[in-house]
Amino acid sequence: MLIQVVLGTVLIILTILIAAGGFWIAETVITRANPWLLRRSHAPRLVMVLIGSVFVVLSAMTASVWLWAFAFVHLGVFDTLEPATYFSLVAFTTLGFGDILLPEQWRILGGMTAANGLLNIGLYTALLVESLRRVRSEQVRGRVDER
């Protein structure tokens, strides 16, 4: 049990680092594109921020799911990558079909995968909201400054 908790904790920390990298990339791109984002017309630029942020979120989530899948294969929990990836995705999204289960000696990792997914989905939601809020508030502030 202790090995599962330690391994799960390490994997959760790694996926949080992946999410942090996504935040850093999004922040850097928005900061560098700020002069362009503040030019009129604002709506299409806001849509571009949304699309870019969603791309970052999906990339980070995909990397996190793959990290769990490779860990499951490396630990011998699954023989091949397909069921490991499927289980990781289903657990990470907390969908939990139950058609593929972990062996009893590894089942704590299943709960940790789901908890990790729930945590990361919250982080990714914050990234999407903050990206749009930041750009929109700067666009509005730019309008006020123009008056």
Residue 94 pLDDT level (bands cut at 50, 70, 90) = confident
Left, alpha or beta for 116 (phi > 0: left; psi -120 to 50: alpha)? alpha
Which ranges of 33-104 would DSSP assign to H, the alpha helix? 34-38, 42-75, 81-92
Residue 19 pLDDT level (bands cut at 50, 70, 90) = very high
Query: Per-residue pLDDT for 144 more than 60?
Result: no
The Cα–Cα gap between 133 and 135 comes to: 6
Residue 43 pLDDT level (bands cut at 50, 70, 90) = confident
Question: What would the mean pLDDT of 48-77 be, rounded to a whole number?
Answer: 95
Query: Per-residue pLDDT for 37 more than 70?
Result: yes
The Cα–Cα gap between 24 and 47 comes to: 20
DSSP 41: P
Mean pLDDT of the chain: 90
pTM of this structure:
0.86
